[in-house]
Amino acid sequence: MADKIARENRLFHWVDERLHIQTLVDYMSHKVVPQHSHSFWYYFGGISLFFFVVQVVTGILLLLYYRPGADSAYESVKFIISEVSFGWLIRSIHSWSANLMILAAFIHMFSVFFTHAYRKPREMTWVTGIFLLALALAFGFSGYLLPWNELSFFATRVGTGMAGAIPGVGDFLMKLMRGGEDVTGATIGRFFGLHVAVLPGVFAVLLSLHLFFIQRQGMSEPLEWAANPQFKKYRPFFPNFIMRELLVWLIMLNLLAVLAVFFPDGIGVVHWPLGQKADPFAPPPPVIRPEWYFMFAFQALKVLPAHLLFIEGELAGIIILTAGGIVWTLIPFLAGKFSSGKKPTLIIAFGWAVLAFIAVLTILGYILE
């Protein structure tokens, strides 16, 4: 036993001599995490990160066999799920994990919003987080086309067509995304490049910044603690919080395994059967719908009248949604000062309104289709 400890010490000393990790160990051992009745929400950031790691690993495995192109994309995905050992499992985990990552990120975002964790000095953590969610949605949109099946083809045609409604740059933007007038093999090339190179690169930078901010500033404490310091309670970050985080990650891994095995093609509205190969000349399927996380925006554009005042309905919808997204991103700067212990009711009401808007339109989207 003593030998083992001595060996570990020697190894630590060897590494520390070169990388000075003792400073990091000291920092970690002093780091604490606030402990209160809403501590539960802290885990959703970590859960989102876990699903992202799963995405990277399974994405790399899929990349070994996936071949972009109108003549090879569908065939390669079919090969992955039917011929490659455990290929079906990897694709299923990739798809489930993508959906769960976005769900966890949404929960994380709203939990941060309602606990006012975005307030000074964590404005940049919030902004980088919003950008990360936007990138995650872009991951979802670009990845949806890659199997080149019937549904993905027509959904991408509708999705990219919406960008065409933006005045001035719309047509250029649509052609830029499609690589031409219509969704073709050129679009797969662009979406593939975006999905496996551009987005991961930008995501990695933003994620590093986001995690750096969190580690540097620590977890946000509840508003009430400012007025009632006697309630303050902390838990050591290492090993207590880390082990709890690990516990949650393992539970998520179990959930992922069960979902991937029992529902390899998804279930209900979260569904990704390979189906038929995309055929640009075939009639579109009766129901073309986006992924669930785009449904609220899709439905909002659908329910708008043809014209809103003097602006075309679809364009007005895009302007409203974009403006809403900008306001949401700038919340830490628009919310004003938080006086100690007082709840900002107006901000909370705004948060509930946004949540209700997303929930109601998403549900309506599925009911009315």
Task: Give me the residues that bind other proteins (CB under 8 A), please.
Answer: 78, 81-82, 88-89, 239-240, 243-244, 246-247, 250-251, 253-254, 257-258, 261-265, 274
Give the C-alpha separation, 101 to 106, whole Å.
9
Give the C-alpha separation, 94 to 90, whole Å.
6
Whole-number minimum distance, CB 336 to other proteins, in Å?
39
Looking at the Cβ atoms of 262 and 310, the one nearer to other proteins is 262
The residues pairing with 308 across neighbouring beta strands, listed in sequence order, are 311
Whole-number minimum distance, CB 261 to other proteins, in Å?
4
Name which of 287, 285, 269 is nearest 362 in CA terms. Answer: 269
Looking at the Cβ atoms of 53 and 243, the one nearer to other proteins is 243
Give the C-alpha separation, 75 to 72, whole Å.
5
Three-class SS state of 266: strand
Name which of 369, 330, 273, 337 is nearest 124 in CA terms. Answer: 330
Whole-number minimum distance, CB 20 to other proteins, in Å?
27
What residues have CB less than 8 Å from 312, skipping those under 6 apart? 165, 306
Looking at the Cβ atoms of 87 and 290, the one nearer to other proteins is 87
Whole-number minimum distance, CB 10 to other proteins, in Å?
26
Three-class SS state of 285: coil
Looking at the Cβ atoms of 263 and 338, the one nearer to other proteins is 263
Three-class SS state of 271: strand
Looking at the Cβ atoms of 247 and 327, the one nearer to other proteins is 247
Q: Degrees (nearest 5) of the Cα angle 159, 162, 166?
A: 145
Whole-number minimum distance, CB 31 to other proteins, in Å?
15
What residues have CB less than 8 Å from 346, skipping those under 6 apart? none
Looking at the Cβ atoms of 51 and 296, the one nearer to other proteins is 51
Whole-number minimum distance, CB 50 to other proteins, in Å?
13
